[in-house]
C-alpha cells in the first residue's frame, strides 16, 4: 500500500507522542516484527500494535507496511525512526548536562544491574570507581533486563548489565561479555528439606515458590524446569524482583526459590538460607555489559569496565 498523503499533525497530537512510543519505533525498525519489539519492551503484542496505530494516527501517516514477512518502514517510517533516534539522543545529552550541574562537575556513571550481576561483575566496577582519580560517583539500580535496557535507550542509564538476548541485535548498542549465571534452588535454614540430599525436580513440585516478573528469564527457567520434568507448573506464592524480599520470605515460610549462585554465596554467610541440591544443572546463561556507541561518558565506561570500547 502506498504512503498516505502527508497531513499536518496538530501540535497537541505531536505533544501526546510518548517516549516509549519513540523507543517502540526504534525496536520495530531493528526487528521488523511487532512480536519481537513487544518482547523487547516487555509489553503484550496487542499493546504494541495499539501503540503503533495510535502513533500513526497522531502523525497522520502510515509508518510501516504490514507484510507476511514482517513490518517494513515506509519513507515516512524511516524518517520517523531517524528523528526518534535524534530525540532520544537529545534527551540523553540533556540528562548528561543536568548530571554535570547537579553533581558539581563530578564524574558520574549510572549503571543498571540484573540481580546476579550485583554480587558478580559489579564488584570490579565499584573497585575501579573507588580507585578513580576523578572522584567518580556510581549511581546504581537493580531491575530486570527489559526494564534496564529501556532506560538505557531513553538515556536514564549509561551502562546496563543484562542477560544476552535480542539486545545484541541493536546497531547502536555495544556490549562486552561479563560472566555466565548459574542458578541454585534455595530455602530457609529451618526448611524440612535436607542439604545433604540430592532432590529430583518432581520431589519439589509440592512446595510453594517465590517467583519473579512473568517475562523474566528466571521466571521462565522455573516454569520450564517443572514443565519439562513433571508436566506441571509450580505454585508461585510471591512475585518479586528483589533478592532481599526473596530471602526474607524464605526465612519465614516453607517456600523455595531460585537464586543466581553468586547471590546465594553473598547471603549464605548470614546463615539465613541454604542450598537445596538438585539433579539438574540450572543456568540463566551469559550476561553482558551494554552501552550506547555514542555515549557521552565513554571515557568513564572504559575506565570502570577495564576495556577499550572503540575500534581496536
Query: pLDDT for 167-178, tens place per residue?
Result: 777 777 888 888
Residue 61 and residue 76 in contact, taking contact as beta carbons nearer than 8 Å: yes
- Residue 97: pLDDT above 70? yes
Q: Are residues 210 and 298 in the same domain?
A: no
Return contacts of 296-299, CB within 8 angstroms, 24+ apart. Answer: 296/92, 296/93, 296/96, 297/96, 297/107, 297/108, 297/109, 297/158
Rounded CA gap, 252 and 246, in Å? 10
Strand pairing partners for 109?
138
Residue 312 lies in a domain: no
- Is pTM, for the whole model, over 0.85? no
How confident is the model over 213-239, as pLDDT tens digits? 777 788 889 999 999 999 999 999 999
Residue 134 in contact with residue 299, Cβ under 8 Å? Answer: no
pLDDT of residue 81: 85
On whether both 95 and 160 belong to a single domain, the answer is yes
What percent of the chain is predicted at pLDDT more than 70? 88
Q: Which residues pair with 183 in a beta bridge?
A: 260, 282
Quick check: 182 and 116 in contact, CB under 8 A? no
Contact call for residues 283 and 181 (beta carbons, < 8 A): yes
Tell me: do 185 and 280 sit in the same domain.
Answer: yes
Q: What is the pLDDT of residues 44-65, one digit of tens each?
A: 888 888 888 888 888 888 889 9
Is 275 part of a structural domain of the chain?
yes
What's residue 311's pLDDT?
46
Residues 235, 95 share a domain: no
Q: What pLDDT does residue 227 have?
A: 96
Q: Kindly report the number of other CB atoms within 10 A of residue 86's CB atom.
A: 11
Q: For position 126, what pLDDT does the model report?
A: 82
Nearest to 170 by CA among 294, 260, 59, 298: 294
Name the burial class of residue 8, with classes exposed (0-12), middle (13-18) and buried (19+) by CB atoms within 10 angstroms of its CB: exposed
Q: Is the pLDDT of residue 133 over 70?
A: no
- 176 vs 42: which has the higher pLDDT: 176
Please report, for the domain that includes residue 62, its CATH number: 1.10.10.10
276 shares a domain with 161: no
pLDDT at 102: 66
For residue 13 the three cell numbers come to 497530537
Give Cβ neighbours of residue 230 (< 8 Å, ≥ 6 apart).
201, 202, 205
Longest dimension (CA), the chain: 72
CB 280 within 8 A of CB 304: no
**Residue 23: domain span:** 11-86
Mean pLDDT along residues 93-117:
75
**Do 20 and 102 belong to one domain?**
no
CA dihedral 91, 96, 97, 101 (to 10 degrees): 130
Q: What is the mean pLDDT of the chain?
A: 82
Query: Any idea which residue has 548459574 for its cell?
Result: 182
What's the CA gap between 22 and 88, in Å, rounded? 8
Q: Under a CB-based contact definition with an 8 Å cutoff, are residues 153 and 24 in contact?
A: no
The span from the CA of 275 to the CA of 100, in Å, is 45
Instruction: Indicate whether 109 belongs to any domain.
Output: yes
Query: Do 168 and 112 share a structural domain?
Result: yes
Q: Which of 86, 114, 137 is the last residue of a domain?
A: 86
Query: Please, which residues bridge with residue 67 across strands?
Result: 70
Could you tell me if 79 and 197 lie in one domain?
Answer: no
C-alpha cell at 223: 516454569
Are 186 and 279 contained in the same domain? yes
Query: 243-296, pLDDT tens digit by residue?
Result: 889 999 999 999 999 999 988 888 876 688 999 999 999 998 888 999 988 787
Total domains, the chain? 3
Amino acid at each position: 500500500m502506498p504512503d498516505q498523503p502527508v497531513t499536518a499533525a496538530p501540535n497537541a497530537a505531536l505533544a501526546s507522542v510518548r517516549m516509549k512510543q519513540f523507543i517502540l519505533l526504534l525496536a520495530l525498525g531493528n526487528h521488523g516484527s511487532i512480536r519481537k519489539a513487544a518482547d523487547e519492551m516487555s509489553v503484550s503484542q496487542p499493546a504494541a500494535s495499539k501503540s503503533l496505530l495510535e502513533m500513526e494516527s497522531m502523525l497522520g501517516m502510515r509508518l510501516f507496511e504490514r507484510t507476511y514477512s514482517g513490518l517494513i518502514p515506509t519513507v515516512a517510517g524511516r524518517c520517523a525512526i531517524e528523528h526518534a533516534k535524534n530525540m532520544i539522543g537529545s534527551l540523553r545529552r540533556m540528562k548528561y548536562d543536568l548530571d554535570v550541574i547537579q553533581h558539581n562537575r563530578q564524574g558520574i556513571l549510572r549503571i543498571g544491574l540484573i540481580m546476579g550481576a550485583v554480587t558478580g561483575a559489579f564488584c570490579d566496577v565499584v573497585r575501579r570507581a573507588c580507585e578513580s582519580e576523578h572522584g567518580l560517583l556510581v549511581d546504581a539500580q537493580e531491575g530486570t533486563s527489559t526494564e534496564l535496557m529501556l532506560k538505557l535507550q531513553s538515556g536514564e542509564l549509561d551502562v546496563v548489565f543484562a542477560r544476552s538476548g535480542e539486545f545484541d541485535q541493536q546497531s547502536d548498542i555495544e556490549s562486552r561479555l561479563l560472566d555466565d549465571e548459574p542458578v541454585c534452588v534455595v530455602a530457609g535454614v529451618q526448611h524440612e528439606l535436607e542439604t545433604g540430599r540430592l532432590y529430583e525436580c518432581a520431589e519439589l513440585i509440592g512446595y510453594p515458590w517465590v517467583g519473579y516478573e512473568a517475562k523474566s528469564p528466571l521466571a521462565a527457567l522455573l516454569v520450564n524446569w517443572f514443565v519439562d520434568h513433571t508436566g506441571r507448573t509450580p505454585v508461585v506464592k510471591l512475585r518479586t524482583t528483589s533478592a532481599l524480599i526473596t530471602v526474607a520470605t524464605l526465612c519465614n515460610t516453607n517456600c523455595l526459590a531460585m537464586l543466581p549462585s553468586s547471590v546465594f554465596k553473598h547471603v549464605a554467610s548470614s546463615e539465613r538460607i541454604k542450598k537445596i541440591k538438585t539433579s539438574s544443572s540450572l543456568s540463566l546463561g551469559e550476561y553482558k555489559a551494554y552501552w550506547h556507541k555514542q555515549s557521552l561518558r565513554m571515557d568513564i565506561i572504559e575506565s570502570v569496565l577495564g576495556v577499550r570500547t572503540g575500534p581496536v
